[in-house]
Structure 1
Amino acid sequence: MKLGAFLMVGLVAASAAGLGCSRHRQEAVILANQADKEVAVNPDGAANKYEQATKLDPTNHRIFFKLAMAHKKQEEWDKVASTLSRATQIAPKFANYWFERGWALEQQAKKKTISYEESKEPYQKCIENDPNFADCYSQLGNVYLWTDDEQKALENLTKAIEHNPNEIRYYAALADLYSRLGYTKEAEQVLKEAMSFAKPGDKYLFGIHSLLASVYQDRGSTAEMVSELEAAKAVAPTDGPESVQILWSLGSTYATLDPPRKQEAIQMLKGFTTRACKGSKAASFKTECETANTLVARLGGQ
């Protein structure tokens, strides 16, 4: 075969291969778009389509990310992590891919299938690629706490607040750690700062008031403790576990004041036993239920 003819054959083959790749990429996008429409109601079926799409185009990191999020809906954390490993290989600058991989590894660590140590690198990579990604500092701080490095935990939880001071849950995590380490003054300062940033109706305000009540309890400041528990009750969701928790916390506090606030204590403690001391919840509240009944009897409520 002459050189010219040989080159022409090669060009035709390359062109055909290029067209084939282009067609596969288009088919992958079409399949992924179909999965997008059903992922909310059928994550398993959507995951199958995303999986097929990644085989058609193994270079499309966005489809890998969508596949990972479908697995996330089903809490298949090992699949989330492995899928995002591929996504981060293709697109290492996408900080959210690193964050979601770190989160998936952290969920596995909670179930003790891997160590918390494994989730550090993805969160560090997340910060490296986006230094303003506050959630990465927060979760990295949590991982450091689980690996017994309280100082690094404090540093990263503080950085989370610095990068997003409007996220109230960051303050709660930092204050809780300060409190457990015995730094009650620092915990109080963080919690008061949280309240200066919190907007009305913020779902994390309950935790802020509850933690501040614990700080005052440790300090022996009863009046301030009661005030914060009452503030917690005012913002507690009516249908969440917080509403049960505050009935116990505030009711038992009213019962042990000197003098006790009898009627309010009886009302709250009876409300607590009604909601927590029957059925499947009773076992987890065994001690509190027994104490609540004792306090109500002592106050003349039975």
Structure 2
Amino acid sequence: MGADAYEYYQKALIAEKNQKIDDAILYTQSALNLASNDALLHTKLAGLYQQKGDWEKALREYKSALSSNPNDAFVYISIGNILQQHSDYNGALNAYNQAMRLSDDYKYNYLNIATVKRLQGKYDEAVDYYKKFLMYYPSHTEARESLAIIYSHQNKPLLAKEQYEYIYNTAPSSFKSYSGYGKTLLDTNNVDRAIEILTTAIESNPNDAQTHGSLAMAYARKHDVVNAEKEFQTALTLAPDADSIRYNYASFLASQNKWDKAKENYNICLANNPKNINLLYDLGMVYQKQNDHAKAIENFEKALLQQPDNDEIKKQLARSYHLNSQYQEALNIYLALLPKDPKNPKLLYNTALAYHSLQNYPEAIRYYTESLAAEQSDQTKNDLVQAYVSYGNEFADKEDFKSAIKQYKSATALNENDFYANSGLANAYYNLGMKDEAISSYEKAISIEPANKQIYTEYGETLSKFNMTDEAEGAFRKAVELDATNTGGYIGLGDNFVSQKLYDKALVEYQKALDITPADPIILIKMGNVYKDKDNSEKAIELYKKAIDSDPNNTDAMFNIGSVLIEQEKLEEAKTYYQKIVDIKPDFDYTYYALGIIEEKEKNYPKAIEYYQKFISSTKDKDKHNSVSQKIEELEKTIKSQELSKQQEQTQTKPEEPKVESPNVQKPAEKTPVEELSTPPSTTEFLD
């Protein structure tokens, strides 16, 4: 730089000192006119343009300076600063790296690079450069604060807290990052300290909505509902559109079981963030808690669309499907999750539960067993017991009592004191006629639940079946002693007396049951049967008709009326009742048997055979099937015999001359013996 150029340069410095930037620029340009390749002058002019805010001209001058002196690291740093300020982070980073290659002694450049990396969201790389910088300048608070902010973004609150505490302990009087420090303390569960620091932050800046929101969360952690609500309201008043604060407020409301207000705030957030997974998931959980499973499913499905591989969302969606009785949909999700986590006891349990709800007991048993193998659980064990019991009940319903016993025994092997398993065993043994085993199982069930009125009723029925009438009466008495409104106990007593032909005593007990449940068709039918046995047919029919008044489609009462009418030889009237039964319940096999008897009594043998054939094609009563089959054969022989006789009469030669004879008085035909009408095995003589 020559003397004249230097003179202009000195004038430029004086003008800059006096804040006359435009004059300084003119003097520097004059100097450059005399020394155009002087790097110092280009650098000075670039700095002046920066002060004016003309960054494009500043960049041009810095580049001119580099043309004269390409090894000036500080020029690269200045270029980097300008590019960084204008969000050209890649350009800034290139400039800083060039400076680092030229002068690695300038350690502040680590801070520049760290800042750009942070702005680019490259947090791990930024952390490395901040650490390098802090090795040389450990007390640099801004660098430590930036590092703390990054750790918070990375969900590393302990590391963030460490940086804030270093700053606070090193220079407490100049510490300003109370809000960030308080949030970090909250995230590390230092709640009391967080409240203290956040309160200090608010004293310094009472209008900071985010700090009020953090303080609200701290109070919520302390279960200080009043102060939490107050701080949330303050935060939302200051920043009503701050979705992060409103989201936390909604979560706070949900934790207080204030479901409707929680939904209101979640939905406000969701309007601005319709695809936010956390919002959709949390809103789904609120609906699930309110048992609005359809809405829960809707939100979980939307969340899953945003993140199809999120297993937690899938689990809650499956749970809502299950709670909404959509068991197959729930099961499909569980089965899809299992290959990823085949020994997860909860997942195995939920799979078993879905199968259980679908009444697929073998698969339910399988998965309950696998869940127990993975983790012992009383709940799982109890549900496995109930699955065995339900499976046993399924076999019992099909009258496969041996298979039922196998399942009930599997249940008692897990819990010998399970009431339902023991009562199921008792019932199965009863149906197989295994007296001692049935009685033993009933006594075991009674010892487990001695106040269970139903078990005494069933026990009484078992004892009565095995002709232990005194013991049966005692069981029934115990049932009504436990519950004076137990109609089953009174009916059992009545049935027990009927089996001993103690009809008057039976009527007393049936009447007690009827007093509790007036117009009960079952009781009315039983009372009608007693009067039938007492040869009071009119009273029997009266009671059967009352049963029909109570239940117009009661085919048992209709059948019994028909049976009485047959005995009274009122065949056509009986037939009308049986025809009604056919219309109502066409698979009632004994109706066809009764109609066959009527047609046989009326000597309409082809029609009788037709009804008998319908009976044998539908009945499960093997003995009756065989006897009716023989009856059909006999009737067919009778028909053939009649046809043969008729043919012989038609072929007889008539006399050549008519004679007057006395009227041909034929001997009345003998009545074909009619077998007494039987009823299904489940009744005494008439249908109960």
User: How high is the TM-score relative to the length of structure 2?
Assistant: 0.33
Pick aligned residue for 1:99 from 385, 388, 395: 385
| 1:72 aligned partner | 356
Contact 2:389 2:408 in 1 (8 A): no
1:118-141 per-position Cα deviation (integer Å, ceiling 9, x unaligned): 31442222324xx4x322322233
Closer/same/farther in 2, CA of residues 272 and 254 from structure 1, 3 Å limit: farther
Rounded to whole Å, the distance in 2 between the matches of 1:113 and 1:48 is 33
Offset, 1:99: 1.7
Matches within 5 A, 1:162-241: 162-198=447-483, 200=485, 205-236=486-517
Does residue 34 of structure 1 match 2:312?
no
Matches within 5 A, 1:1-302: 31-39=314-322, 40-91=324-375, 94=378, 95-110=381-396, 111=398, 112=400, 115-128=403-416, 131=417, 133-145=418-430, 149-198=434-483, 200=485, 205-236=486-517, 243-257=520-534, 261=539, 264-265=542-543, 267-268=545-546, 270-271=548-549, 274-277=552-555, 278=581, 279-281=583-585, 283-284=587-588, 286=590
Q: Which sections of structure 1, spanning at least 5 residues, go unmatched?
A: 1-26, 295-302
Closer/same/farther in 2, CA of residues 281 and 63 from structure 1, 3 Å limit: farther
1:245-282 per-position Cα deviation (integer Å, ceiling 9, x unaligned): 33422233345546553684253254378312344435
1:215-268 per-position Cα deviation (integer Å, ceiling 9, x unaligned): 010122212211222233344598xxxx44334222333455465536842532
Q: Which sections of structure 2, spanning at least 5 residues, go unmatched?
A: 1-309, 556-580, 599-688
Rounded to whole Å, the distance in 2 between the matches of 1:265 and 1:289 is 23
Contact 2:528 2:540 in 1 (8 A): no
Moved more, 136-145 or 208-217: 136-145
Offset, 1:53: 4.3
1:34-58 per-position Cα deviation (integer Å, ceiling 9, x unaligned): 3232224312112223333444443
Closer/same/farther in 2, CA of residues 219 and 121 from structure 1, 3 Å limit: closer
Closer/same/farther in 2, CA of residues 137 and 117 from structure 1, 3 Å limit: closer
Rounded to whole Å, the distance in 2 between the matches of 1:63 and 1:173 is 39
Closer/same/farther in 2, CA of residues 262 and 194 from structure 1, 3 Å limit: closer
Rounded to whole Å, the distance in 2 between the matches of 1:86 and 1:209 is 46
Offset, 1:193: 0.6
How many residue pairs match? The answer is: 255
1:142-164 per-position Cα deviation (integer Å, ceiling 9, x unaligned): 34446664323212211211221
Contact 2:314 2:333 in 1 (8 A): yes
Rounded to whole Å, the distance in 1 between the matches of 2:524 and 2:586 is 15
Offset, 1:97: 2.9
Contact 1:179 1:215 in 2 (8 A): yes
Rounded to whole Å, the distance in 2 between the matches of 1:77 and 1:196 is 37
| 1:22 aligned partner | none
Contact 2:527 2:543 in 1 (8 A): yes
**Structure showing greater relative contact order (alpha-carbon pairs closer than 8 Å, 6 or more residues apart):** 1
Moved more, 49-58 or 173-182: 49-58
Rounded to whole Å, the distance in 2 between the matches of 1:282 and 1:235 is 33
Question: Quick one: which amino acid aligns to residue 163 of structure 1?
Answer: I
Tell which structure's C-alpha radius of gyration is larger.
Answer: 2
Rounded to whole Å, the distance in 2 between the matches of 1:140 and 1:224 is 32
Contact 2:457 2:488 in 1 (8 A): yes
Contact 2:528 2:544 in 1 (8 A): yes
Closer/same/farther in 2, CA of residues 114 and 285 from structure 1, 3 Å limit: closer
| 2:569 aligned partner | none
User: How high is the TM-score relative to the length of structure 1?
Assistant: 0.68
Moved more, 225-234 or 190-199: 225-234
1:10-37 per-position Cα deviation (integer Å, ceiling 9, x unaligned): xxxxxxxxxxxxxxxxx76654433232
Closer/same/farther in 2, CA of residues 113 and 212 from structure 1, 3 Å limit: closer
Rounded to whole Å, the distance in 1 between the matches of 2:407 and 2:468 is 28
Question: Quick one: which amino acid aligns to residue 220 of structure 1?
Answer: K
Rounded to whole Å, the distance in 1 between the matches of 2:592 and 2:529 is 9
Moved more, 117-126 or 210-219: 117-126
Rounded to whole Å, the distance in 1 between the matches of 2:442 and 2:469 is 16
| 1:3 aligned partner | none
Rounded to whole Å, the distance in 1 between the matches of 2:435 and 2:377 is 29
1:57-84 per-position Cα deviation (integer Å, ceiling 9, x unaligned): 4344444344333333333233333333
Contact 2:321 2:330 in 1 (8 A): yes
Rounded to whole Å, the distance in 1 between the matches of 2:363 and 2:518 is 34
Contact 1:172 1:191 in 2 (8 A): yes
